[in-house]
Amino acid sequence: MSKTDTTETERSRDEAAGAQLSTAPQEETAIGGPVLGVVGWIRWFWRQLTSMRVALILLFLLSLGAVPGSLIPQTSADELKVQAFKEAHETLTPVYEKLQFFDVYSSVWFSAIYILLFVSLIGCIVPRTWQFVGQLRSRPPGAPRRLDRLPAYTTWRTEAEPEQVREAALAVLKGRRFRAHTAGDAIAAEKGYLREAGNLLFHVALIVILVAFAWGQLFKSEGGKLIVEGDGFSNTLTQYDDFKSGSQFGLDELEPFGFTLDSFHGTYETKGPQRGTPRTFEAAVRYSEGGGTEKKAVIRVNEPLKVGGSKVYLIAHGYAPVVTVKDGRGKTVFHGAVPLLPIDNNITSTGAIKVMDGYRDKNGKKDQLGFQAFFVPTFAGAGQGTMFSQFPALVSPAMALTAYYGSLGVDSGLPQNVYQLDKSNLKQFTDESGNKLAKRLAPGQSMTLPDGAGSITFEKDIKEWASFQISQQPGNGLALAGAIAAIAGLTGSLFIQRRRVWVRAVRGEDGVTVVEMAGLGRSESAKLPEELGDLAVTLAAQTPPSAPAPEPAEEPAEDPAPSEEADK
């Protein structure tokens, strides 16, 4: 065999030698052969689906598919917003409905991407795991014939015996946490297995996150409740203002607990450019679980109350003025706190006061009353500002009322917003001059209705309300664990370098021992020659040197086509 043939053979062996440094399944290359049958096409499809390229494409599509779910109102989250969107965008609505953009996370196309990604990750991880386990159980391969062709290489001569050099090299490499053993006239060592472990951990963590997401969507429950100071809540379906849950959630899985809102306290910045900015929101509650002993707690923003597997979040607050309504005969027909909804950051609020039962005019005729309320906690005063709040705290509260009589529409059987008046069957009261009746009241003041229809009093007692979200998210802990594991695995796969080191010690023709040391990594790195140089200096210090001294580790000067990895 000629010298050229020998060189080509060695190059081929070197190029195929580093396969064990990677756990990626090797793809089979078909050269010619018969036409694929059904089984062949299934195998081809499976190889494509479980390839890393397809997994990345599916992950990108999953992220892209979540975009409309974030920008477009979702039926599972807020049906009212979806309905408002449909009314405002009549042209887009049919298109979005066909594309299932109002139910993205339960749509056919999103579920298909989700399931394919799940299968792809499992099909990718399983063979890589078995291959990695096999590499952990095996020893590092022996030294290639030509160490000087590897990316990092150094050599020196020593008066020590070859056996002494190999023993010293074995001790040094094991001291640096290399897996090392003697293979013929050389020491073979390998380090950095955690790189592949991190890679596998990252992909396993992705599966954990997908499982957690699916688990949370199927078994979650979430509801909202507005509670006025002094009122309570029991965790049953009828107590919620709104409630939604996953398809696999059962109502018997609601945690048996309840709580009472004793008081709400909020503080605000009083000076400077941030005047009115909230500083603290605290809801003092008393709660009990399963009819047990009552306990006290304070719920703050981002500090929920945890009861069993449920969490109670504080999400909003406002004011509930106390009003008293009397009929034409002076009988009290309504007395209580009426929650009003904020419309700006200074808690300017609006709402409705509805008197449905028990009201009679001066002639004893049954009727219904409705009042449109507009409340400000800090009013600048007549002639000093518009009817908008100047500050969110209760400094100088005022409430404007507009009175109506007639049918409130509550007997029609159709659902109705408790914070709005249906004025289709209502008439507004007028004063003696024929002007529509409306009046601004301070705490303690009353508005008398015309023709002996009664009166309404704005009491000095103004309560606050708080809105809570009660949720059960069984997959949150698992998702957090998966995210932490994914970050740890990705960090390991990016920053840990898997590399091999060989040390060969043989006696030269002049009787002096020649030591060769070479290193090979999965990817080129400046740290590999530095590490090899440090190992060479340490090893040379433990053996009697002979001129010349060890040369620094460097790239080989002459290598027309250096291979990335090497074999025995």
Q: Which residues contact 382 (CB under 8 A, 6 or more apart)?
A: 440
User: Do 113 and 148 fall within a single domain?
Assistant: no
User: Do 97 and 235 fall within a single domain?
Assistant: no
- For 182-211, write each residue's pLDDT tens digit: 999 999 999 988 888 888 899 899 889 988
Task: Tell me, yes or no, whether 535 lies in a domain.
Answer: yes
Report yes or no: 344 and 309 within 8 Å, Cβ to Cβ: no
11 pLDDT higher than 80: no
- Percent with pLDDT over 70 in the chain: 86
Task: Tell me, yes or no, whether 12 lies in a domain.
Answer: no
Report yes or no: 115 and 526 within 8 Å, Cβ to Cβ: no
- For 300-351, write each residue's pLDDT tens digit: 998 999 998 899 999 999 999 999 999 988 899 999 999 999 999 999 999 9
Task: Tell me, yes or no, whether 253 lies in a domain.
Answer: yes
122 φ/ψ angles, rounded to the nearest 5 degrees? -65, -45
Across 12-21, 62-71, 154-163, 457-466, least confident range: 12-21
Average pLDDT over residues 440-458: 93
User: Do 236 and 282 fall within a single domain?
Assistant: yes
User: Do 150 and 55 fall within a single domain?
Assistant: no
User: Do 120 and 165 fall within a single domain?
Assistant: no
Site of tokens 């070197």 = 14
Domain boundary among 438, 472, 506: 472
User: Do 76 and 184 fall within a single domain?
Assistant: no
Query: Rounded to an integer, what is the distance from CA 443 to the centroid of its chain?
Result: 46
User: Do 454 and 503 fall within a single domain?
Assistant: no
Task: Tell me, yes or no, whether 503 lies in a domain.
Answer: yes
- Percent with pLDDT over 90 in the chain: 48
Burial 11-25 (b: 16+ CB within 10 A, else e): bebbeebbebbbbeb
540 pLDDT higher than 80: yes
269 pLDDT higher than 50: yes
Task: Tell me, yes or no, whether 335 lies in a domain.
Answer: yes
Task: Tell me, yes or no, whether 367 lies in a domain.
Answer: yes
User: Do 76 and 186 fall within a single domain?
Assistant: no
Q: How far apart are the first and last CA of the chain?
A: 21
User: Do 367 and 321 fall within a single domain?
Assistant: yes
Average pLDDT over residues 97-126: 89
Task: Tell me, yes or no, whether 25 lies in a domain.
Answer: no
385 pLDDT higher than 70: no
- pLDDT computed for residue 414 by the predictor: 65
CA distance 360 to 262: 35
563 pLDDT higher than 60: no
Q: Give 9's pLDDT tier (boundaries 50, 70, 90).
A: low
Q: Give 560's pLDDT tier (boundaries 50, 70, 90).
A: very low
User: Do 154 and 125 fall within a single domain?
Assistant: no
Omega cis (within 30) before 339: no
- pLDDT computed for residue 496 by the predictor: 85
17 pLDDT higher than 50: no
DSSP string, 482-522: HHHHHHHHHHHHHH---EEEEEEEEE-TTSPEEEEEEEEES
Task: Tell me, yes or no, whether 566 lies in a domain.
Answer: no
- CATH assignment of the domain containing 517: 3.30.310.80
User: Do 507 and 450 fall within a single domain?
Assistant: no
User: Do 381 and 466 fall within a single domain?
Assistant: yes
- pLDDT computed for residue 545 by the predictor: 57
Average pLDDT, the chain: 85
* Total tally of structural domains belonging to the chain: 3
Domain that holds residue 229: 221-472
178 pLDDT higher than 80: yes
Assign residue 409 a region (left: φ > 0; alpha: ψ between -120 and 50; beta: otherwise).
left
Average pLDDT over residues 364-389: 84
Helices and strands of the chain, counted as H and E runs: 10, 23
- For 482-533, write each residue's pLDDT tens digit: 999 999 998 988 888 889 999 999 998 888 999 999 999 876 667 888 999 9
